């Protein structure tokens, strides 16, 4: 409560422009422009040297406040000094008048003392007369200086000096209070500026972290696709930061089939997402990626099964040229991505060579068996993630299912090869 009351007492009311306020020991400045070349140059030079501009401004205000306070004290001392000099000058005049008056009296005493009828020693008479006169003048002067009324010139000096000191102290107190209020307002405003800057920095950092996370997932998927492509004579191009013919950046990785060994036999575009898309958004993204990259087939790679668009399943072909696959965000180079890659590649090769007579039913059955085996493998892998020990047999079971998938894929590729031979 005491701190709150003190803050209310020390708060400076807003001025007409609302630019400067003092709150307690803080100075708040809002929309205040200081037109001073030297101050601007100082802040600029120190900012270039690495010092925070807000810190420079705060230091300048604190130093300036101390200088102003020192100047006010020096002015008060000079004022009191002048008052003493003027008063002492008046006292000197009064003393001079007193001495002049005493000189006349002394002349009269000497005249009376050294009359024609005097017969004693002249030197003795002068000595006695001077001593008596000096004693009288000292007594009179002492009486004046010790008097408590207006006849004592020191009283007037003391009154004027005391009045001047009180007035100077009051002025200094008011100036100090005003300066404290201004500094408090400036500090409050600087605090708000720093808080806003800190909040902006936090937002920017969060956005950057989100961007890094998205780019990291995209990069990991591309690295996995690149490894798969190298093993099959294909070329994987990272296109996520490159605009296509339509001016957009849709399509994160483009795989050119057979381009590492000869002419490109077709193109597959992979779009990576670490968030869930709606059904319509998914179609827009994949259709846009295919158009932008001039691809024959599109694969949506999502970070986990919970990112699969609602109403859809992974490793199920849609519209004859689209496929969805869910991968581990940290380790996307797993069975699911390899299966999607090989399936998309086979579909492009089959579509490009219309002369091939492929056992469509056999291909469809093998693909369905591979998808079923993959689902079982993923279910077991999910169970393994919650088991700390004794997972050897379960992992062997998973490896067996993976082998089943490989067999089915090999069968599909064999069917394609057999049709090509015929």
pTM above 0.75, yes or no: no
In a domain, 250, yes or no: yes
Last residue of a domain, one of 320, 352, 384: 352
In a domain, 140, yes or no: yes
Residue 24, exposed/middle/buried by CB under 10 A (0-12, 13-18, 19+)? Answer: middle
In this structure, the answer to whether residues 161 and 188 fall within a common structural domain is yes
In this structure, the answer to whether residues 180 and 60 fall within a common structural domain is yes
In this structure, the answer to whether residues 57 and 118 fall within a common structural domain is yes
Two tokens at 376?
């079982």
Q: Are 314 and 324 in contact (CB under 8 A)?
A: yes
Eight-state DSSP code of residue 305:
G
In this structure, the answer to whether residues 319 and 409 fall within a common structural domain is no
Two tokens at 74?
């020096």
In a domain, 224, yes or no: no
- Distance CA(200)–CA(198), nearest Å, equals 5
In this structure, the answer to whether residues 194 and 319 fall within a common structural domain is no
For residue 47, give every residue at least 6 positions away whose Cβ sits within 8 Å of its Cβ, in sequence order, or none.
53, 56
What integer pLDDT is reported at residue 295 of this predicted model?
Answer: 94
In this structure, the answer to whether residues 305 and 196 fall within a common structural domain is no
In a domain, 205, yes or no: no
In a domain, 220, yes or no: no
Domain range for residue 123?
2-200
Strand partners, 301: 272, 325
Among 206, 265, 215, residue whose Cα is nearest residue 238: 215
In this structure, the answer to whether residues 337 and 270 fall within a common structural domain is yes
What integer pLDDT is reported at residue 391 of this predicted model?
Answer: 60
For residue 264, give every residue at least 6 positions away whose Cβ sits within 8 Å of its Cβ, in sequence order, or none.
256, 257, 258
Taking residue 28's Cβ as centre, other Cβ atoms within 10 Å add up to: 27
In this structure, the answer to whether residues 121 and 252 fall within a common structural domain is no
In this structure, the answer to whether residues 313 and 243 fall within a common structural domain is yes
Last residue of a domain, one of 352, 377, 393: 352
- Distance CA(350)–CA(330), nearest Å, equals 33
In a domain, 166, yes or no: yes
Last residue of a domain, one of 352, 369, 388: 352
In this structure, the answer to whether residues 251 and 139 fall within a common structural domain is no
Q: Are 68 and 179 in contact (CB under 8 A)?
A: yes
- The rounded average pLDDT for each run of 10 residues, N- to C-terminus, in the chain (422 residues) is 46 55 76 82 88 84 75 58 57 59 62 54 63 73 66 69 82 83 78 77 62 69 94 92 84 94 93 92 93 94 92 87 90 83 87 62 69 69 57 66 73 69 60
Number of domains in the chain: 3
In this structure, the answer to whether residues 86 and 150 fall within a common structural domain is yes
Two tokens at 419?
């049709």
Location of structure tokens 């500090």: 187
Sheet holding 267-273, edge to edge: 235-238, 253-256, 267-273, 297-303, 322-327
In this structure, the answer to whether residues 374 and 334 fall within a common structural domain is no
């Amino acid at each position: 409560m005491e701190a709150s009351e003190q803050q209310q007492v020390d708060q400076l009311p807003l001025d007409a422009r609302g630019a400067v306020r003092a709150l307690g020991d803080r100075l708040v400045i809002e929309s205040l422009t200081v037109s001073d070349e030297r101050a601007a140059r100082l802040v600029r030079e120190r900012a270039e040297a690495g010092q925070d501009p807000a810190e420079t401004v705060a230091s300048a205000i604190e130093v300036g406040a101390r200088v102003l306070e020192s100047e006010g004290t020096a002015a008060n001392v000079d004022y009191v000094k002048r008052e003493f000099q003027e008063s002492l000058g008046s006292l000197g005049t009064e003393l001079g008048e007193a001495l002049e008056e005493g000189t006349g009296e002394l002349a009269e005493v000497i005249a009376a003392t050294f009359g024609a009828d005097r017969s004693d020693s002249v030197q003795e008479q002068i000595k006695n007369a001077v001593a008596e006169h000096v004693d009288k003048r000292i007594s009179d002067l002492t009486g004046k200086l010790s008097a408590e009324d207006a006849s004592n010139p020191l009283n007037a000096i003391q009154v004027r000096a005391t009045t001047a000191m009180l007035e100077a102290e009051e002025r200094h107190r008011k100036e100090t209070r005003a300066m404290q209020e201004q500094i408090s307002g400036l500090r409050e405003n600087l605090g708000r500026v720093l808080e806003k800057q800190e909040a902006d920095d936090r937002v920017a950092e969060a956005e950057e972290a989100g961007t890094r996370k998205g780019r990291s997932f995209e990069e990991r998927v591309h690295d996995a696709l690149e490894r798969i492509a190298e093993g099959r004579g294909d070329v994987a191009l990272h296109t996520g930061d490159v605009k296509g013919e339509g001016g957009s950046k849709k399509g994160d990785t483009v795989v050119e089939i057979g381009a590492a060994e000869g002419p490109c036999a077709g193109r597959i575009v992979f779009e990576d997402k670490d968030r869930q898309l709606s059904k319509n958004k998914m179609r827009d993204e994949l259709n846009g990626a295919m158009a932008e990259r001039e691809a024959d087939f599109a694969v949506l790679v999502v970070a986990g099964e919970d990112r699969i668009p609602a109403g859809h399943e992974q490793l199920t072909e849609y519209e004859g040229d689209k496929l969805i696959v869910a991968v581990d965000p940290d380790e996307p180079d797993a069975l699911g991505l390899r299966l999607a890659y090989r399936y998309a590649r086979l579909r492009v090769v089959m579509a490009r060579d219309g002369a091939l007579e492929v056992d469509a039913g056999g291909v469809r059955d093998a693909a369905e068996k591979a998808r079923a085996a993959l689902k079982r493998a993923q279910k077991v892998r999910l169970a393994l993630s919650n088991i700390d020990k004794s997972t050897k047999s379960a992992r062997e079971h998973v490896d067996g299912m993976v082998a089943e998938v490989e067999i089915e894929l090999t069968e599909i590729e064999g069917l394609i090869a057999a049709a090509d031979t015929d």
